[in-house]
Amino acid sequence: MSSTLSVLEPATEEVLAEIPRAGVEQVDEAVAAATAALPAWRALDPGARARLLHALADNLAAHTEELAVTEARNAGKAIADARGEMQMVRDTFRYYAGAPERLLGDTIPVAGGQAFTVREPVGVVGLITPWNFPLAIAAWKLGPALAAGNTVVLKPAELTPLTALRFAELAVEAGLPEGVVNVVVGPGSTCGARLVEHPGVAKIAFTGSTEVGRSIAAGAAQTIKRVTLELGGKSANVVFADADLEAAATAAPLAVFGNAGQDCCARSRILVQAEAMDEFMGHLESAVRALRVGDPLDEDTQMGPLISAGQRETVASFLEDDVNVAFRGSAPEGPGFWFAPTVLCPAAPGDRAVREEIFGPIATVIPFRDEAEAIVLANDTIYGLSGSIWTRDGARALRVARALQTGVLSINSNSSVRVTTPFGGFKQSGYGRELGPHALDAYTELKTIYYATEE
């Protein structure tokens, strides 16, 4: 494998940057640097660690536009989306800057003394991240990991390493000691795998495909590493006939075509109550045709290209099956990995496009009869990450929300991820939760201390 990595711009297919490609040796060096930095970082008083995380948030805020443009160009995402992601990155560090001084423990009544718990950092944490939300997903891991006193080695996806590299510079500029944040850009099969097997790495936090997640869980078992996994999804958008159908249909396209469908939370199975199907599809068609697909750097763009030629081939393969294409939106011609948003209707529960995560702009629409069937269909998947329920019947919304086997749900909305609330999957969408107060559990070990007080 070449020791130089050519980073492409998916909207033009041109080379955006040439950077050195790391191998196993560089991973070992990064782990050594993180190990050396750990004692001082975890010993830092909580207020000082909080101030450094605030300084980092300030520095990220000062570089929002630069980072957003880099991310938009490298990942092919709409600049408006990239700006939102960079604001979320900043907010994530702000939120976790509150954590070092609030890592509370318990005191527990026992005989003969005092028992209490403290939260210790796990140590050196390996972060392995995907190309779809490169810096945002890294920040969801970096924020709680650093706040809890861990040091990290981040391996971004080779397709989108640029914002991670810039982040490491901005962290040092903000005052974080050298060695606390290390970024290694290299292939998952070598560099990622080395992090997973490295005896000096205490935990792996991974976001990516279910397939690679499985191999990471298996590899981590050798050293009993802690693992959190955020994996694929095939989320349902359940629309009942009593819903505001226009609102549900108008919101549905970006809930699956946002980020060109390369979103683990994509609501790629739209379940519509049969009697509302015609009205819903009418509104959906207008909304899909109105979607602005084009140059990521254009302020008005809502959807850019796919990440790579390979990804486009994979996505296109779903249209080779015997599928019912109801309608398609537009996409530019010429260079760039473009793919027009596509709606398949009616789709059947056994179709490949319904069962597999496509990770591209193809939505399936499936009719259902009643609440009971909607629940069965929505849960008929190996995944369980996200989902939506549209209805004006509040009791039904709550019944269905409790019945769906998924980690994050929204009612009369398609929102999934917030800095302040936990995010993560049921079933083969992974385990562990990111963001919100609960993420700190995944980056700390609970220690019980007993102090005998009897003479």
Check if 120 is active-site: no
**192 contacts ligand NAP (rule: CB under 6 A):** yes
Cα distance between residue 401 and residue 240, in whole Å? 13
**264 contacts ligand NAP (rule: CB under 6 A):** yes
Q: Which of 230, 285, 357, 434 is catalytic?
A: 230
Which of these segments, 6-14, 124-132, 279-287, 292-300, binds ligand NAP (CB under 6 A)? Answer: 124-132
β-strand 4-9 against 236-239: which pairing, if any? unpaired
User: Applying CB under 6 A, which of residues 189, 222, 420, 448 lies at the interface with ligand NAP?
Assistant: 189
Which of these segments, 80-88, 189-197, 278-286, 336-344, binds ligand NAP (CB under 6 A)? Answer: 189-197
Residues numbered 346 to 365 that lie near ligand NAP (CB under 6 A) are: 357, 359
CB atoms within 10 A of CB 224: 8
Cα distance between residue 129 and residue 208, in whole Å? 7
Query: Contact, 240 vs 164, CB < 8 A?
Result: no
Check if 265 is active-site: no
CA atoms within a 13 Å half-sphere pointing along the CA-CB vector of 282: 6
Q: How far is the CB of 41 from ligand NAP (least distance, A)?
A: 24
Residue 268: helix, strand or coil by DSSP? coil
Residue 438: helix, strand or coil by DSSP? helix
**421 contacts ligand NAP (rule: CB under 6 A):** no
Between the alpha carbon of residue 67 and those of residues 75, 84, 166, 167, 260, the distances in Å are 12, 11, 8, 9, 20
**436 contacts ligand NAP (rule: CB under 6 A):** no
CA atoms within a 13 Å half-sphere pointing along the CA-CB vector of 326: 22
Q: How far is the CB of 7 from ligand NAP (least distance, A)?
A: 11
User: Applying CB under 6 A, which of residues 142, 212, 238, 248 lies at the interface with ligand NAP?
Assistant: 212
User: Applying CB under 6 A, which of residues 193, 202, 270, 366 lies at the interface with ligand NAP?
Assistant: 193
Token duo for residue 108: 């527990």
Token duo for residue 349: 């529960």
**209 contacts ligand NAP (rule: CB under 6 A):** yes
Between the alpha carbon of residue 5 and those of residues 10, 22, 56, the distances in Å are 15, 9, 28
Which of these segments, 43-51, 151-159, 237-245, 398-406, binds ligand NAP (CB under 6 A)? Answer: 151-159
Task: Concatenate the DSSP letters of all residues of 120-138 into one string.
Answer: EE-SEEEEE--SSSHHHHH
**187 contacts ligand NAP (rule: CB under 6 A):** yes
Q: Which of 191, 264, 265, 345 is catalytic?
A: 264
Residue nearest to ligand NAP (CB): 188
Please report, as ranges, the residues that interact with ligand NAP according to CB under 6 A. 128-132, 137, 155, 157-158, 187-189, 192-193, 196, 207-209, 212, 215-216, 230-233, 264, 357, 359, 385, 425, 429-430
